[in-house]
Amino acid sequence: MKNIKTFLILTLTILIITLGNTQVLSHSFGSTSKVVLASELQWSPLNPARGDASPQAATIWGDRNGTEATGFLVKFKQGFSSPPHIHNVTYRGVVIDGLVHNDDPNAEKMWMPKGSFWTQPAGEAHITSAEEKNNIAYIEIDEGPYLVQPQEEAFDNGERPVNVDASNIVWLNASNLHSSDHAKSSNCWSKPQIAFLWGNPQEREPYGSMIKLPTDFKGKIRSHGSDFRAVVIEGQPNYIALRGTDTKNLEPGSYFSSKGKSTHQLTSDAEAESIIYVRTNGKFDIISHQS
């Protein structure tokens, strides 16, 4: 775990430097934005062959039965424990609710609470279990289809699994933060924070991070990449249409995205901070407007 934390600190430093060098453009962004509420998602068995014993899944973006990158939610019943199995593709997971265990079949249980992150390499035998009454995780693949296969077909693809409890996520203040009220002391309100999870933002390829918006946050996320995708992990931020005529409350599991340079206006609840998972292939700014 110490090595993982050291790795996260080093890669976070790279990310913050990269984001800090982002140029904030003053002109309006043209983009195609989309918002999907968690309440609008359609659920079906993750593994139809297991029927009612299968966890439920809801595709957020992409197609897990196709060949493209995909993000989807998985819902586990209390006490669920899968048989040992493998997947044909590597996936990443972020716990949204409950407690989830994902590891070698013989490993001691490591119950990951909401906000935890893990990766499961293709071909490696493992089990997945859930402990609480409500258990939901966001799952992401870079290519499909997503298949569940018997452990007898296990193979080593050279990757190793990673399990990071929420308490071990390394958060840093987003150095690209721009406040509309420069007279305020930084101690008067909390700044947004960022945690690097995977990938390398300097390579112009997809990478993943989480951002934490403090209570009473009012501001924007301005994306400079061609593909921006965000899933709410914790809290209930409000998404505001650019013209300010429509506001959507984003419960955990809700999603917003855009193609091309774009601006997403958000406010965070006065009682709770918001944590959002972001997958993108370019730099982005978190711009806070504090009153």
CB 122 within 8 A of CB 90: yes
Q: How far apart are CA 213 and CA 218, in angstroms?
A: 9
Backbone angles phi, psi at 3, to 5 degrees: -65, -40
Q: How far apart are CA 56 and CA 45, in angstroms?
A: 4
pLDDT digits (tens, 9 = 90+) for 99-155: 999 999 999 999 999 999 999 999 999 999 999 999 999 999 999 999 999 999 999
At position 242, the amino acid (one-letter code) is: L
Choose between 18 and 279: higher pLDDT.
Answer: 279
What local confidence, expressed as pLDDT, does residue 1 receive?
Answer: 47
Sequence-distant (≥ 6) Cβ neighbours of residue 138 within 8 angstroms: 60, 71, 72, 73, 93, 94, 96, 231, 233, 253, 277
pLDDT greater than 70 at residue 12: no
DSSP state of 186: T
What local confidence, expressed as pLDDT, does residue 50 receive?
Answer: 86
What local confidence, expressed as pLDDT, does residue 31 receive?
Answer: 52
Question: What percent of the chain is predicted at pLDDT more than 70?
Answer: 82
Identify any residues that bridge with 24 across adjacent strands, giving them in sequence order. Answer: none
What local confidence, expressed as pLDDT, does residue 47 receive?
Answer: 87
What is the number of other CB atoms lying within 10 angstroms of the CB of residue 221? 23
Please report, for residues 61, 80, 245, 247, 281, the alpha-carbon distance to residue 260 in angstroms, rounded to integers and kept in the order given.
17, 40, 22, 22, 10
pTM of structure: 0.85
pLDDT greater than 90 at residue 245: no
Q: How far apart are CA 198 and CA 278, in angstroms?
A: 11
